[in-house]
Amino acid sequence: MSVSLADLRGRDPQIFTDGCPTRTVLDHVMGKWGILVLLALSDGTQRWGVLRRNVAGISEKMLASTLKTLEADGLVRRTAYPEVPPRVEYALSPLGRDLMQRVLPLMEWVADHAADIVDRSA
Amino acid sequence: MSVSLADLRGRDPQIFTDGCPTRTVLDHVMGKWGILVLLALSDGTQRWGVLRRNVAGISEKMLASTLKTLEADGLVRRTAYPEVPPRVEYALSPLGRDLMQRVLPLMEWVADHAADIVDRSA
DNA sequence: CGGGATCCTGCACGATACTG
DNA sequence: CAGTATCGTGCAGGATCCCG
């Protein structure tokens, strides 16, 4: 049932080594803001302003650049409506939803154990 | 079956907000090297030197500091043998193994989709 | 409202050398 | 062998202003 690094390396020896695409994806998704944005979006389509409030502490610049990389990665879909004032909505793409299906259980675990972990290291 | 951020916020409204312990854990685990070290260790107990080779591209400094935070977080266990030359072994703690059970499926997904994602954004 | 452009700063991270 | 100590630096990320 469980997968190991050795298993993954069995399929592709270069996996998770330096310069490997997996590293790039990891950097995008696991960066400081990537997951938090994806996590917010897993609640459903959201406008820029709402997203900004839901990802507490993010700056406009980082929200913009994070969304751009995630969109380029095909994990997030951006929809702009030709209105005044402008309205732009962000949503997970099918690929993004697929990813979050793997991430959410992890987040749940983190939510459950974070306090313990931080206490220990204090 | 699926969990959402709203669900998690239902248990604790502060979850994943700024300054929340979850953010700290995320920074430790999801940082550039955290996961990669944990991933390598999920193959089993390893000595420092082996670990350094398995986590391709990591510097000694980063390996040392990453291991120290992960050990302080209670995710990694360090065992030093009073020998000459010194021998030190690192292993996942039970907590760390529990965590990796959630992380490995994610890594498998990333391994499977990384190429697509990077191609798209190129 | 939803960003882009610009400037600035810290610290995450790397390289090198040294040690018990 | 398994680290620490020291020194540099690039770039992630914050603050601010502006624009369609």
CA of B14 to C1' of C15 (A): 41
Of A112-116, B62-66, B117-121, the one with minimum mean pLDDT is B117-121
Question: What is the total count of domains within chain B?
Answer: 1
Cβ of B31 less than 7 A from strand C:
yes
Tokens read off for B42:
């999920």
Based on C-alpha coordinates, what's the Rg of chain B? Answer: 17
DSSP string for residues in A46-106:
EEHHHHHHHSTT--HHHHHHHHHHHHHTTSEEEEEE--SS-EEEEEE-HHHHHHHHHHHHH
Q: Which residue, counting CA atoms, is nearest to the C1' of nucleotide D3?
A: B64
CA distance A65 to chain B (A): 14
CATH number for position A49:
1.10.10.10
Q: Is the preceding peptide bond at A82 cis, omega within 30 degrees of 0?
A: no
Query: What domain range includes position B94?
Result: 31-121
The burial of B2, by beta-carbon neighbours within 10 Å (0-12 exposed, 13-18 middle, 19 or more buried), is given as exposed
A82 within domain boundaries: yes
pLDDT tens digits, residue range A56-66? Answer: 999 999 999 99
B108 within domain boundaries: yes
B36 within domain boundaries: yes
H or E element that contains A21: helix A21-30
Cβ of B53 less than 7 A from strand D:
no
Nearest to A36 by CA among A97, A109, A98, A103: A103
A62 within domain boundaries: yes
pLDDT value of residue A30: 64
> Residue A43 above 60 pLDDT?
yes
Of B54, B74, B117, nearest to A74 by CB-CB distance is: B117
What is the rounded average pLDDT of the residues A71-92?
95
pLDDT value of residue B111: 92
Nearest to A35 by CA among A116, A114, A107: A107
> Residue A76 above 60 pLDDT?
yes
CA of A47 to C1' of D17 (A): 23
DSSP string for residues in B46-100:
EEHHHHHHHSTT--HHHHHHHHHHHHHTTSEEEEEE--SS-EEEEEE-HHHHHHH
B109 within domain boundaries: yes
A45 within domain boundaries: yes
A72 within domain boundaries: yes
CA of A63 to C1' of D12 (A): 13
Please tell me the distance from the alpha carbon of residue B120 to that of residue B122, in angstroms, as a whole number: 5
Enter the pTM of the model: 0.93
AA letter at A2: S
Strand B46-47 to strand B76-81: parallel, antiparallel, or no bridges (unpaired)? unpaired
A55 within domain boundaries: yes
CB contact under 8 Å between A114 and B21, yes or no, is yes
Please tell me the distance from the alpha carbon of residue B122 to that of residue B109, in angstroms, as a whole number: 20
pLDDT tens digits, residue range B72-93? Answer: 999 999 999 999 999 999 999 9
Task: Give the mean pLDDT of chain A.
Answer: 91
Q: What residues contact B93, with CB distance under 8 A and at least 6 apart?
A: B74, B75, B76, B77
